[in-house]
Amino acid sequence: MPVGVSAAQWTDWAWQMQHRIRTAEQLSRWVRPTEDEVRAIALLADRFHFVITPYYASLMDPDDPDCPIRRQVVPRTAELNDPAGLADPLREVDHSPVKNVIRAYPDRIAFCVNNECALYCRFCLRKRMVGDEEWAMKKRELEQGLEWIRSTPEIRDVLLTGGDPLIFSDDRLEWLIAQLRGIPHVEIVRLGTRLPVTLPFRVTPGLCRMLRRYHPIWVNTHFNHPKELTQEAAKACDRLLRAGVPVGNQSVLLRGINDDVDTMKRLCEGLVRMRVRPYYVYQAQLLEGTAHFRVQIERGVEIFRALRGRTSGFAIPLYVLDTPRGKVPLLHPYLRGREGEDVVVETYEGGLWREPNPQ
């Protein structure tokens, strides 16, 4: 916590939002920015500018530009060098029957209810919309989305995402959730939010009291590195869990941040200690400005192969590639083939096992 800031201010999410870091000069109060970072901040000011909460900035290493926290949120000029990157690799716009309602599956949707986040992750899949006013949702547009859900009875599962739905005030979020709860075919409401990681003070007792009135509510959050597993983050997840909200985690596999077995193991085991289920790890998409984050898929498969048998099974998330046609699991081929009536499988130690196949 910086000198001159009281504990009450520091833990107030509105204070954190008001004091976000938006310029190289403000950043230099937290870290010693490199020349490349300062240049990138200027060059990207009109494209995907940077914003960081003081809380998240306090986790950055002031001297190490390769700090895994810093790399996630401070721009680099490498973002300008990605000829293969696309603005919308999952073709979410094509899959939207109405503004910001994304339907990739018959029975569930992602509803991007706002365009704002506490900070802007440099690898964000929705950088085309995050922080861009054009993608903000007016009340009338939220109502249009709700009306589409009301008139589409196949939809049983609604993910509220963005941006980040917890940027909304409790009242606005409650209005939205209550509208969804009034639709008989909507069984599950999920919230996709990174605020337990980037602004854990947003998960207030009042928010949790509100959420528990509308179960079943599920939360998926987004921790990428063990340094993010702070006491504050653990308390935020604990408040959600005590309100009966199951909390899962979706990470992105990021080069130089979590693309090694030891880091991924510490992340997943730390999440389990917090009672947060490691759910998915996404292959980083072919997304503009992110070539320096992408990891070869074979390397990703190796990492999760190496975890198998070396930690609790439920601590191992499913490594997936998201495509415009839905998610595809990226799995090591444990099923090695057939010998006569037997099926041959690979054990975690790399040996083979022949299992008589039931007739």
Binding positions for ligand SF4, rule: CB under 6 A:
117, 120-121, 124, 126, 130, 162-164, 194, 222
**Which residue's CB is nearer to ligand SF4, number 145 or number 183?**
145
Closest by CA position to 256, among listed 128, 124, 90, 123: 123
- Helix residue spans in 45-204 (DSSP H): 54-57, 68-73, 139-150, 170-181, 195-198
d(CA 318, CA 305): 11
Structure tokens at 80: 């300008």
Q: At closest approach, how far in Å is the CB of 134 from ligand SF4?
A: 16
CB atoms within 10 A of CB 130: 22
d(CA 358, CA 342): 9
Three-class SS of residue 21? strand
Nearest 5°: CA angle at 320, between 242 and 232? 30
Closest by CA position to 355, among listed 332, 347, 341: 341
**Which residue's CB is nearer to ligand SF4, number 117 or number 183?**
117
Q: At closest approach, how far in Å is the CB of 173 from ligand SF4?
A: 16
Which residues, other chains included, contact 172 with Cβ-Cβ below 8 Å and sequence gap of 6+? none
| Phi, psi at 319, each rounded to 5° | -85, 125
Q: At closest approach, how far in Å is the CB of 191 from ligand SF4?
A: 12
Structure tokens at 307: 């975890």
Q: At closest approach, how far in Å is the CB of 130 from ligand SF4?
A: 5
**Which residue's CB is nearer to ligand SF4, number 194 or number 225?**
194
**Which residue's CB is nearer to ligand SF4, number 19 or number 128?**
128
Q: At closest approach, how far in Å is the CB of 120 from ligand SF4?
A: 5
Q: At closest approach, how far in Å is the CB of 20 from ligand SF4?
A: 13
**Which residue's CB is nearer to ligand SF4, number 67 or number 118?**
118
Closest by CA position to 199, among listed 17, 3, 77: 17
**Which residue's CB is nearer to ligand SF4, number 162 or number 226?**
162
